C-alpha cells in the first residue's frame, strides 16, 4: 500500500509551539489554581508564562514580531491615550504628598502594562484548539478548589479564617475575570452544557465565599453578555455609554445620591456618611478636580488621616481624587476605545469581550485590587485569554464538498454519430 510522504517537521517551529503551549498552559491552567491557593503564586507564574509565550513568537519571527506589534500598538490612538495617562500620572508626582510610594506604584503600573502589551503582541494569528481547551479546564479546577476552601472556612476547619477568606476572595476575582473568555470559547464550540456547568461552578464558589463584589460583577456582565448576543450593536452601545459615562460624571454622583441614601437608610448609616464625605471632598477643593491630589494618595491619605476614614474607595472616586479631570478624561477615552475594539472581534467572542470589560469595571468601582500587582496581572490575564479565544476562531467555514458533480457532468450525453464515408 502506497503512503503519502510525510512532510519534515521544522524543529524551530516545534520548539516554538512547545514553549507557547507551556506558557499558555501556565497562564490559564495553573494561574487560577495559584490565585486561589497562594498569596504570590499568580504574580510569580504570570510573568514567567508571558516570557515563554514571547520567546515562542520571537523564535518563529526571528525576534521581530512581538516588538513590532507592540510598537504599532503604542503608536495607535489607544496607545497615545494610554501614554498620556501614564505621563500625567508621572507629572502628578510633583505635587503628591507621597512621592516615593507614588513613584513605585507608577513603575509597577507601567511595567505590568508594557508586559501585558508584549504578551498580547506575542499571541499568534491562530491559536491551537488544544491550547484553548486548557482555559475552561483550569477555571473549572480553580472553582472546585475555591468551593473546597470555602466549605472548610464555613465549617470552622480553617487555621486562619480571615486570611483564608481574603485569599479566597482575591482568587475568585481572578477566576471571575477569566470566566467570560472561557464561556465564549465553549459556546463557539457548541459546548453549551460545559459552559453552563462552568458558570454554575464559579457562581457557587462566589456565593459560598461571600464574594459579593464578584457576584455583582458576574450579574452585570451576564446582562451585557445576553444583550450583546441578541443585539450586538445595542450591547456595545450600552457599554459605551455606561462605562465612560460613569467615570465622567463621578463627581456629581455623591451630590445626586446624598438625599436619596439619607431617605432610604437614615442619617446614621455608614453608606450615607460615605456619600456625605465624598460630596465634601468634591465641593471643598474644586481646584483639585482639575489637577487631582497626585498618584497614590486616595488610600495613603486615608491611612495618614488627611481625609476621613469614611471616604470612598474605588475607581470612580480614586481617579478624580488622584489624577483629576485630565486623568478621568483619559480613562474614559480608554474605556470607550476598548468597547469599540470589541466590534473587530469574531461575532461569537465579542459578547464575551464586552462581559470581560464590564466585570473588570464593576470590580474596579467596588474597590477590588486597586493597583496591586495581583490585580494588574489579573487584568493582563483577562485581556490575553479573550484575545487568544478570538485567535482560535479561524475555522469558521468548511470547504465545499467534492460530492457535487460539476455542471458539465449534469448535461445529458450527446448521441454518437458515425463518421461520414
C-alpha cell at 271: 453608606
What backbone torsions phi and psi does residue 178 show, to the nearest 5 degrees?
A: -90, -15
Give a yes or no: residue 306 inside a domain. Answer: yes
Our measurement of the distance from residue 183's CA atom to the centroid of its chain's CA atoms, rounded to an integer in Å, reads: 14
Task: Please give the pLDDT value at position 159.
Answer: 63
- Domain-located, residue 410: no
Residue 189 included in any domain: yes
| pLDDT of residue 247 exceeding 50 | yes
Q: Hey, how many other C-beta atoms are within 10 angstroms of the C-beta on 152?
A: 15
| Integer Cα distance of 405 and 124 in angstroms | 38
E strands within 160-316? none
Is the pLDDT reported for residue 418 higher than 80? no
Please state the pTM of the whole predicted model.
0.87
Of 169-178, 206-215, 224-233, 304-313, minimum mean pLDDT range = 304-313
Indicate whether 219 belongs to any domain.
Answer: yes
Domain that holds residue 246: 14-391
What pLDDT is stored for residue 414 in this prediction?
57
In degrees rounded to 5, what are phi and psi of residue 155?
-85, 5
The answer to whether 277 and 310 are in contact (CB under 8 A) is yes
Q: How far apart, in whole angstroms, are the C-alpha atoms of residue 33 and residue 218?
A: 20
**Is residue 180 situated within a structural domain?**
yes
Tell whether 155 is covered by a domain. yes
- Domain assignment present for residue 406? The answer is no
Res. 410: pLDDT tops 90: no
2 by Cβ neighbours in 10 Å (0-12 / 13-18 / 19+) ranks as exposed
Interval 103-153: pLDDT, tens? 999 999 999 888 888 888 888 888 888 889 999 999 999 999 999 888 888
The better pLDDT of the pair 408, 318 is held by 318
Domain count, the chain: 1
Buried b (16+ CB within 10 A) or exposed e, 253-278: bbeebeeebbeeeeeeeeebbbbbbb
Residue 220 falls inside a structural domain: yes
Amino acid at each position: 500500500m502506497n503512503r503519502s510522504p510525510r512532510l519534515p517537521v521544522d524543529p524551530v517551529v516545534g520548539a516554538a509551539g512547545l514553549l507557547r503551549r507551556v506558557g499558555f498552559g501556565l497562564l490559564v491552567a495553573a494561574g487560577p489554581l495559584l490565585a486561589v491557593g497562594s498569596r504570590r503564586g499568580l504574580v510569580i507564574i504570570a510573568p514567567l508564562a508571558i516570557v515563554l509565550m514571547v520567546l515562542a513568537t520571537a523564535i518563529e519571527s526571528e525576534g521581530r514580531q512581538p516588538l513590532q506589534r507592540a510598537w504599532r500598538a503604542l503608536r495607535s490612538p489607544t496607545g497615545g491615550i494610554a501614554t498620556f495617562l501614564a505621563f500625567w500620572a508621572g507629572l502628578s508626582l510633583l505635587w503628591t504628598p507621597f512621592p516615593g510610594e507614588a513613584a513605585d506604584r507608577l513603575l509597577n503600573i507601567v511595567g505590568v502594562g508594557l508586559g501585558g502589551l508584549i504578551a498580547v503582541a506575542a499571541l499568534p494569528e491562530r491559536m491551537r484548539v488544544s491550547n484553548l481547551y486548557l482555559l475552561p479546564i483550569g477555571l473549572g479546577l480553580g472553582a472546585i478548589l475555591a468551593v473546597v476552601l470555602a466549605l472548610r472556612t464555613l465549617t470552622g476547619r480553617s487555621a486562619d479564617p480571615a486570611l483564608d477568606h481574603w485569599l479566597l476572595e482575591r482568587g475568585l476575582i481572578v477566576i471571575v475575570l477569566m470566566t467570560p473568555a472561557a464561556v465564549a470559547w465553549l459556546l463557539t464550540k457548541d459546548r453549551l452544557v460545559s459552559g453552563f456547568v462552568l458558570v454554575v461552578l464559579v457562581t457557587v464558589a462566589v456565593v459560598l465565599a461571600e464574594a459579593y463584589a464578584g457576584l455583582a460583577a458576574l450579574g452585570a456582565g451576564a446582562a451585557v453578555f445576553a444583550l450583546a448576543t441578541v443585539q450586538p450593536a445595542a450591547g456595545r452601545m450600552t457599554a459605551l455609554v455606561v462605562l465612560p459615562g460613569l467615570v465622567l460624571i463621578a463627581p456629581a454622583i455623591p451630590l445626586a445620591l446624598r438625599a436619596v441614601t439619607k431617605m432610604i437608610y437614615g442619617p446614621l448609616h455608614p453608606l450615607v456618611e460615605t456619600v456625605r464625605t465624598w460630596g465634601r471632598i468634591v465641593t471643598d477643593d474644586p481646584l483639585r478636580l482639575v489637577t487631582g491630589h497626585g498618584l497614590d494618595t486616595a488610600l495613603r491619605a486615608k491611612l495618614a488621616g488627611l481625609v476621613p476614614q469614611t471616604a470612598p474607595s474605588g475607581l470612580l472616586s480614586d481617579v478624580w481624587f488622584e489624577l483629576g479631570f485630565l486623568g478621568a478624561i483619559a480613562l474614559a477615552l480608554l474605556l470607550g476605545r476598548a468597547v469599540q475594539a470589541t466590534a473587530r472581534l469574531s461575532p461569537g467572542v465579542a459578547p464575551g469581550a464586552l462581559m470581560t470589560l464590564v466585570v473588570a469595571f464593576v470590580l474596579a468601582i467596588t474597590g477590588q485590587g486597586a493597583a496591586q500587582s495581583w490585580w494588574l496581572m489579573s487584568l493582563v490575564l483577562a485581556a490575553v485569554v479573550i484575545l487568544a479565544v478570538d485567535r482560535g476562531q479561524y475555522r469558521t467555514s468548511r470547504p465545499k464538498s467534492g460530492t457535487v458533480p460539476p455542471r458539465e457532468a449534469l448535461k445529458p450525453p450527446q448521441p454518437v454519430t458515425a463518421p461520414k464515408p
